[in-house]
Amino acid sequence: MIINSVMVLAGFFLLIRGADYFVTGTASIARKLGIPALIVGLTIVAIGTSAPELCVNVIAVVRGAFDLSIGNIMGSNLVNIMVALGLATAIVPLKLKQGTVWKEIPFALLVTFIVLVFGSDFLFDGTLPNVLSRTDGMALIALFLIFIAYTFGMTKSGEQPEEHIEVTPWLRSLTFTLGGMTALILGGYITVEGAVQIATTLGISQNLIGLTIVAIGTSLPEIVTTVIAAKKGHIDLAVGGIVGSNIFNILLILGVSATIHPLTFSLDSTTDTLVVACMTLLLFFFMFIGKRHTLDRKQGILFIILYGLYVTFAIFRG
């Protein structure tokens, strides 16, 4: 048990550091090849923040730990909304731009409901088991590409600033890229192996491990980035990064996972996805309660309390 716990912690460290190095190296190479900073920011840098979840999910699917992969995505999205934003509002109230309120948050809600529909075969088709099929996965990836194209068009129109990309020498860029990729793969493998063994040893579901321990670990970059951004007054970066990460998690990571292998959508997974949808909807409603388009400290604290309650429920459910 101790060895497995150390494996998970070591895996988290490799995932976080690997993602950082991989983004730094690949972004620098892209800029050296003449790719605009805007495109690099919308693709490499944005996807890089979700690299830990992506590596864990791909390895979990290959390993056959399907419940862990779905639990990781839904758990990460819950942590992003309820913990990252909750902690950020403890520092300063977060005032959102109109585009985030009326476009990004509703889109995050929409894609969550799409996953609910895709994973409810019995409700809509009368067939069991409920599965996210390869076709569903490809549809999610297609939506992801549409989202990227839409975001690029919105940014090109001047609604968002360009991303600053650090350019390093070729040798350093290649070293960062290869080293980061190696750390991501190794970290993902160690995390999944340790998490599966912990679940087996404790006699609990892989879904619960993915929803809690793995989700919190893979969401650490988002938590740290959001809190630091709020502390420095970069409110758009703090909130936009969280909402964007949730969209990436569902469309790209869950889409890739289901494309590799169909994912059985259990009752626990359905419940978790429904809660993600409810919390996203609650975030939207908070924009019109109290000060308009602002998430205040009381609302952030409520998110943290609700997260604690749901984790407690998930533990007893497991």
Strand 263-264, strand 131-132: pairing = antiparallel
d(CA 66, CA 206): 8
d(CA 44, CA 254): 18
pLDDT score at 37: 57
Host domain of residue 242: 2-317
**φ/ψ bin of 233: left (φ > 0), alpha (ψ from -120 to 50), beta (otherwise):** left
Work out the number of other CB atoms within 10 angstroms of the CB of residue 37: 16
| pLDDT one-digit tens code per residue, 160-199 | 444 556 778 888 888 988 888 888 888 888 888 888 888 7
pTM for the full predicted model: 0.84
DSSP alpha helices (H): ranges in the chain?
Answer: 2-32, 37-40, 46-48, 51-63, 66-78, 85-91, 98-99, 105-118, 121-125, 134-156, 170-202, 206-209, 215-218, 220-231, 235-248, 255-260, 267-286, 297-317
Domain CATH number, residue 210: 1.20.1420.30
How many domains does one find in the chain? 1
| pLDDT one-digit tens code per residue, 114-155 | 999 999 887 777 677 889 999 999 999 999 998 888 777 665
